[in-house]
């Protein structure tokens, strides 16, 4: 199951899953159907505030996320990046899913004074309590990719980040360099497929390799 398949990382996750013949079916949940010609993909239109019964799956990939600017308020941001993520993960676990991979962020810390980092950290902590055999938490730094193909404007922070990478990459620690969404997706799939028990946290620098 994939949530967030019309976003930057989720699109890459779906593409990677479509190239992986180990999966018999790929269930995509969200408000908009993704563009794909994979006959195994089955789209389920959902409202994350009121999740319907969803099909039983083995593996779950959650790439939901917004920004406070887009959401409009801190409460609306939390409703997506914490509440919706947790609700979907909890329901999938209750239906038998055993492995979960989720996109978080560098700096995630439930005790952070920064609201964004605190919400991400609280989400990670709550996901750990759901009892998944394998939990993969990807913490990318600044994400880059083709937002134009998603009808999304390029964020000013990404432009600055890419310029900074070009000028100062050797001086910037690997964990804080901009990272392609495709690398994050690849790292998530490979780590989840390995099936190592417990929680694996993938820092941005490690996902660059």
Say what the pLDDT of residue 107 is: 93
Tokens coding 73 = 């308020």
Determine contact, residues 157/171, Cβ cutoff 8 Å: no
Domains and CATH numbers, the chain: 2-203 (3.40.50.720)
Which residues does residue 67 pair with via DSSP β-bridges, in sequence order? none
Find the radius of gyration of the CA atoms of the chain. 16
Determine contact, residues 9/184, Cβ cutoff 8 Å: yes
Mean pLDDT of 181-201: 96
Q: Quick one: 181 exposed, middle or buried, by C-beta within 10 A (0-12, 13-18, 19+)?
A: buried
Instruction: Determine the Cα angle at 26 with ends 21 and 32, to 5°.
Output: 140
Say what the pLDDT of residue 158 is: 54
- The pLDDT tens digits of the residues spanning 54-67 come to 899 999 999 999 98
Say what the pLDDT of residue 176 is: 83
What is the Cα–Cα distance from 109 to 106, expressed in whole angstroms? Answer: 9
Could you tell me the CA-to-CA distances from 161 to 33, 142, 154, 165, 166 in Å, in that order? 30, 7, 11, 6, 9
Tokens coding 170 = 């050797």
Inter-axis angle of helices 8-18 and 181-194, nearest 10: 50
What is the Cα–Cα distance from 6 to 46, expressed in whole angstroms? Answer: 14
pTM: 0.89
Q: Quick one: 37 exposed, middle or buried, by C-beta within 10 A (0-12, 13-18, 19+)?
A: exposed
Mean pLDDT of 112-137: 97
Mean pLDDT of 23-49: 93
Determine contact, residues 34/28, Cβ cutoff 8 Å: yes
Q: Residue 146, SS3?
A: coil
pLDDT tier at 144 (50, 70, 90 boundaries)? Answer: confident
Determine contact, residues 120/105, Cβ cutoff 8 Å: yes
Tokens coding 24 = 């018999």
pLDDT tier at 131 (50, 70, 90 boundaries)? Answer: very high
Strand (E) or helix (H) holding 164: helix 156-168
């Amino acid at each position: 199951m994939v949530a967030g398949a019309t976003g930057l990382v989720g699109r890459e996750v779906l593409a990677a899953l479509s190239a992986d013949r180990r999966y018999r079916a790929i269930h995509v949940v969200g408000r908009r159907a993704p563009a794909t010609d994979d006959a195994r993909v089955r789209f389920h239109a959902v409202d994350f505030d009121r999740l319907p019964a969803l099909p039983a799956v083995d593996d779950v990939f959650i790439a939901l996320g917004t920004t406070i600017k887009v959401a409009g308020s801190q409460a609306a941001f939390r409703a997506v990046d914490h509440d919706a993520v947790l609700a979907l993960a909890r329901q999938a676990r209750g239906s038998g899913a055993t492995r979960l991979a989720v996109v978080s962020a560098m700096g995630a810390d439930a005790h952070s004074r920064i609201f964004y980092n605190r919400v991400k950290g609280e989400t990670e902590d709550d996901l750990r309590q759901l009892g998944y055999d394998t939990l993969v938490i990807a913490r990318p730094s600044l994400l880059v990719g083709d937002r134009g193909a998603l009808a999304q404007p390029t964020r000013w922070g990404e432009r600055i980040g890419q310029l900074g990478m070009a000028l100062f990459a050797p001086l910037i620690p690997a964990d804080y360099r901009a990272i392609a969404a495709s690398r994050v997706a690849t790292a998530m799939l490979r780590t989840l497929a390995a099936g190592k028990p417990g929680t694996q946290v993938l820092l941005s620098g490690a996902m660059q390799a």
